[in-house]
Chains A and B, each alone.
Chain A
Amino acid sequence: MIVVKRKPIKEILEFVKNSKNILIAGCGTCAAVCLEGGEKEAAEIKGLLNLHFKNEDKNISALCDSAVRLCDPEFVKDIKLKCNVLPDVIISLGCGAGVQMVSDIFESVPVFPGINTTFLGTNDELGVFSEKCQGCGECILDKTGGICPVSRCSKSLLNGPCGGSSDGKCEVDDTIDCAWQLIFDRLKTMNMLDKMQEIIPVKDWRTSRDGGVRAMVKEEAVIDKNEE
């Protein structure tokens, strides 16, 4: 999932202070699971704004139901249809992709991010998330015991731990697990330690962001849609 974190309310207040009609658009998927940008949080921000601007003539509304995905145009068009008047400003609580989709659909209305998009990760327990993938486009988890060195080693090393690995922790910070210690332990458990001897060759980063902006077209899906 995409892990997100709400921006400080001060920053959000700054975005909207000169606008009259304010729309807060929540997202029902990742942002909601993170407890940062779903229905509940949209309502909460609405409440905070109402309180802050209680002596000003502002019209603040919050939209979100659990089915909404702000990264999908159909949902966002639907939100636009529901607006009787176009808002002066929108605070989007979706990830960075969601903010941009909202902006694409609303075009003339300024859309500001209400959350910071942090990383691709897992929800380890309630309220606990950790980074697991960097979307490098050429997955090598088969070689590394199912633990990703690209995103989880602070130096994205592909051939084992640097000299700074100590007691299972990364040299950068002792709150960070050393990915290569984890990989070593996992391969050992799997009885596949010989994988540690292989030299993983230089990576082709073109499939990552380094090849330029990425897009994907799934031909079958596109054709099906045209036939409809």
Chain B
Amino acid sequence: MHQESNLKKVLDSGKFAVTCELGPPKGTDLDVVKEKASLIKGYVDAVNVTDNQTAIVRLSSIATSHILHDLGIDPIMQMVCRDRNRIAMQSDLFGAYSLGIKNLLCLSGDHQTFGNHPESKNVFDIDSIQQLSMINKMKNEKKAYCGEEIEGDFDMFLGGASNPFGDPYEFRVIRLAKKINAGAKFIQTQCIYDMDKFEDFMKMVRDMGLHKKTYILAGVLPLKSFGMAKYMKNNVAGVQIPDELLNRMKTAKAAGKGMSAKEGIKICVEQIKRLRNIEGVHGVHVMAIEWEKKVPQIVEEAGLLPRPEL
């Protein structure tokens, strides 16, 4: 008997969900995975496992997700369109399901020129919206994309990403609607710093009734330092950080060692509290990348403990 996704259970129960992210090691050191897992276990409902994020070669998301599953953590396996055609995707999905993985996040994937093999060819046989509809069809009709019966069971709790701050801004909510129509049952957003703009986005989401058709998990990413804040603002496409937050991080930097990290966490906790009160936000996705140890503190200070056991 295949257990249901914990994430789905929490969301279906109406509770405010918490997810975080785990980056697999650049190799086979499973201790890295186990250590990170032990830090976050019990503090979140499910954990995203990145798929060669920023096109840097890492332990596969499928293997890492399987390890987390064995450790009693509900993994959200990420799958990008950059590295697999429809054949490899479906095959890996059968593999993932067989290994007990129940959540899938469909993504386009960062372009390979960002990573450590910029000379490589990409695939992009299908895009992330087509990927959602393909997999949605697989789970609903129990048929592979070509129409042939799937031997055995297949299911996935399907999710997509949304960047409310990408351009063109007017299209972002339409894109979200497309993903929902294609089969996304949950959505995780890009990290949010500009709360006013996100509130505006959520208003458009509610006006279209989209918050009733999918679960939206708002992304937050705790800032470690003023330098990181500046870097993200200037170099990461689709991330907008208001000056007020930059100034807070700058002041914290001047206050001495360790103060920046403290302020970053404080901001993150404030954000989560505000996000919780926005109608249509069903959870929060804490992207403490290479800072997994801070997840328990953030979740606790945001008043999100204990996590439901369903």
Contacts and interface: CB of A to CB of B under 8 A. Distances in A.
Interface string A172-190: 1100001001001100000
Contacts of B181: 199
Contact of B190 (A163, A202, A205): A163
A200 B258 CA distance: 50
Interface residues of A, number: 30
A165 B238 contact: yes
A191 interface: no
B120 to A, nearest CB: 14
B167 A157 contact: no
Given A196-B174, A202-B145, A159 B129 contact: yes
Nearest to B175: A160
Interface stretch (B16-24, B68-76, B107-115, B299-307): B107-115
A167 interface: yes
B145 A165 contact: no
A190 to B, nearest CB: 15
B61 interface: no
B127 A159 contact: yes
Given A165-B238, A202-B145, A181 B177 contact: no
B129 A196 contact: no
B129 A199 contact: yes
A159 B178 contact: yes
Determine the main DSSP class of A at the interface with B: loop
Contacts of B130: 158-159, 199-202
A40 B134 CA distance: 53
Interface of B: 81-82, 86, 108-111, 113-114, 122, 124-130, 133-134, 145, 161-163, 166-168, 170-171, 174-175, 177-178, 181-182, 190, 237-238
17 contacts: A155-B82, A157-B108, A157-B124, A159-B129, A159-B130, A163-B162, A163-B238, A164-B237, A165-B167, A165-B238, A171-B237, A181-B167, A181-B168, A199-B133, A201-B130, A202-B86, A202-B130
Closest 10 CB pairs of A and B: A163-B163, A159-B129, A166-B237, A164-B237, A157-B127, A171-B237, A162-B108, A163-B166, A156-B124, A202-B130
Interface of A: 154-168, 171-173, 178, 181, 184-185, 196-197, 199-203, 205
Given A161-B166, A197-B178, 16 more contacts: A155-B82, A157-B108, A159-B127, A160-B171, A163-B161, A163-B190, A164-B166, A165-B167, A165-B238, A171-B111, A173-B113, A181-B168, A197-B177, A202-B130, A202-B133, A202-B134
